Every structure is written in structure tokens, then in C-alpha cells.
């Protein structure tokens, strides 16, 4: 990971970290491979009949990359209407191929947690007791070096 000032600022002061009092919904993104997870809390507002993310927080059991992704994506999601949130999630998922595997899994986990929170909110409109939705990542959180070793070992038939 090459580091610029913006990235370091997010590391030093992750935006929107913590729980959210009076949250309307929660969503979880989880990596079943290593037990890492991200919890997203949203408070929903209504503007001219359109629902939007009025406030958002996240917590993470994970590495610094997950916290970075949480800090950046929650900043982007804040204020977006639900269509905008879905677009943000889709755009993030499309970018994952360009990231190293360990970074891809972290960003995917955050994006899925945001989607889970919005989906939980939608489900609770008809069923207030609907449980918090958890989505699992498909990307593997294997560090680049180990991944290359694994690929080379596979090529050599080990």
C-alpha cells in the first residue's frame, strides 16, 4: 500500500468510527475465512419521500485496511439516498479486481456491510423484528506474498 497524506489522515482519525445511538438499522459484513467483520449502523432520513442515510457509523474487527475502507466508504455513503448507496456498493465491488487480494476482501466487507444495513432497514419496514442481515465476502484475505507463493506452488504441482 503506498501512503499519501489523505490515507494517513484516515488511519490517524478514522471517520465515523463507533456505534450510533438511535440507529434505525444495522448490517454486518463478514469474512468467514478469518473471523474479521464490519458492523454498520445507519440512521435514515426522509427528504421529499426519498430515504437517505442521515448518519452512519462503523466498527471493525479487522486490520488497518478495513478501518481505512470503513472510514472512506462511510464518508461517501453519508447523505446519499438509497439508490446512491446501492450505486456506491456496486461501484466498490467493480473496483475490487484492481486491488491486491487482502485489500479487496477488506473493502468488500465494508461495502457488503453498508448494503446489509440498507437491506435490513428495507426488510424491517414490513417486519420490525427482522434480524440484522450479514453478508459474507467472496474475496480471500490472503496477503500478496503468500498468495504468490500459493500460485507458484500450484504451478509447480506442490
| The binder of other proteins chosen from 8, 91, 95, 151 (CB under 8 A) | 8
Looking at beta carbons only, is 35 or 128 nearer to other proteins?
35
Task: List the one residue out of 139, 74, 133 whose CA is nearest residue 109.
Answer: 139
Contact region with other proteins (CB under 8 A), list: 1-9, 44-52, 100-108, 123-131: 1-9
Length in residues, the chain: 158
Distance CA 130, CA 122 (A): 10
The least CB distance from residue 147 to other proteins, in Å, is 16
- Residue 127, classed as helix, strand or coil, is coil
Structure-derived torsion over alpha carbons of residues 140, 144, 149, 154, reported in degrees to the nearest 10: 40
The least CB distance from residue 104 to other proteins, in Å, is 17
Binding mask 57-86 for other proteins (x = CB under 8 A): --xxx-xx--x-------------------
What residues numbered 23-52 form the site for other proteins, per CB under 8 A? 35, 39
- C-alpha separations of 127 from 54, 93, 120, 131, 141 in Å: 22, 29, 10, 9, 35
Decide if residue 142 touches other proteins (CB under 8 A). no
Q: Enumerate binding residues for other proteins (CB under 8 A).
A: 1-3, 5, 8-9, 11-14, 17-19, 35, 39, 59-61, 63-64, 67
Amino acid at each position: 500500500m503506498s501512503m499519501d497524506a489523505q490515507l494517513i489522515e484516515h488511519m490517524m482519525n478514522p471517520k465515523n468510527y463507533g456505534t450510533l445511538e438511535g440507529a434505525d438499522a444495522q448490517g454486518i459484513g463478514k469474512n468467514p475465512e478469518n473471523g474479521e467483520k464490519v458492523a454498520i449502523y445507519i440512521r435514515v432520513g426522509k427528504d421529499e419521500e426519498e430515504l437517505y442515510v442521515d448518519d452512519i457509523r462503523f466498527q471493525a474487527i479487522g486490520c488497518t485496511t478495513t478501518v481505512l475502507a470503513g472510514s472512506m466508504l462511510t464518508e461517501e455513503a453519508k447523505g446519499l439516498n438509497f439508490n446512491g448507496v446501492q450505486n456506491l456498493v456496486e461501484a466498490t465491488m467493480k473496483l475490487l479486481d484492481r486491488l491486491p487480494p487482502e485489500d479487496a476482501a477488506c473493502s468488500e466487507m465494508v461495502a457488503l456491510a453498508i448494503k446489509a444495513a440498507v437491506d435490513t432497514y428495507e426488510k424491517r419496514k414490513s417486519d420490525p423484528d427482522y434480524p440484522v442481515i450479514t453478508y459474507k465476502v467472496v474475496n480471500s484475505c490472503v496477503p500478496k506474498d503468500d498468495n504468490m507463493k500459493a500460485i507458484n506452488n500450484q504451478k509447480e504441482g506442490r
